[in-house]
Amino acid sequence: MDELIVMLHIQTACDRQAAIDLALHDLDRDNCLVRLRRRGGGFHWHPVSPRLMAALGKHAERRGGASNTHRVLRKRNGQPISRRRYDGLWDRVRENLRWAQELEVTTYSITKTVRAHVRQLFGETVERVYVGQYHEDTAVLTHLRGDAIEALMTITGEHHPLARIQRPHHTPRR
């Protein structure tokens, strides 16, 4: 589950609570989208790789489907994870990887790094769309979502089903 959590944060740049709150009805498996809740209310749909979407679905099924909870990320006993899971995760990472301890790796540092990468390659506006902070004209937003999908494909190296163009998954955009 640790790998699943880290992959989710790398691909979405979401905060810890958005991942904890992710529910089964927040998974659009056909379009590889997850609905992420924002602090202060509201949500946005975020693209994820087909590989991550499959892993999220398998994880939820293995950990009890909808029997115990509607949450996606769950412990072996089927109970939803909490903020404490993250404390243990980062303790284990820093204990086993010296560089992670030196860099003080956390969920926030991953989110900050992903945002900086998207901003550097695609610009500030696409970064804002990527993290669900863009609330302008709908036509503009629809166009920019395509750029956010391109950013995701650059990060993951995987093709996304909603991509505007077909291109080999290994060819970088920029």
Looking at residue 42, its pLDDT comes to 83
What span, in angstroms and rounded, lies between the C-alpha atoms of 92 and 78?
A: 22
Domain ranges, ordered by start, for the chain: 2-156
The arithmetic mean of pLDDT across residues 140-168, rounded, is 81
What span, in angstroms and rounded, lies between the C-alpha atoms of 56 and 9?
A: 13
Higher pLDDT, 49 or 1: 49
* Phi, psi at 167, each rounded to 5°: -150, 155
pLDDT digits (tens, 9 = 90+) for 14-63: 999 999 999 999 999 999 999 999 888 888 899 999 999 999 999 988 88
Q: With left for phi above 0 and alpha for psi between -120 and 50, is residue 124 left, alpha or beta?
A: alpha
Looking at residue 77, its pLDDT comes to 87
pLDDT digits (tens, 9 = 90+) for 94-124: 899 999 889 888 899 999 999 999 999 999 9
What span, in angstroms and rounded, lies between the C-alpha atoms of 57 and 43?
A: 20
Q: Does domain 2-156 have CATH number 1.10.443.10?
A: yes
Looking at residue 38, its pLDDT comes to 85
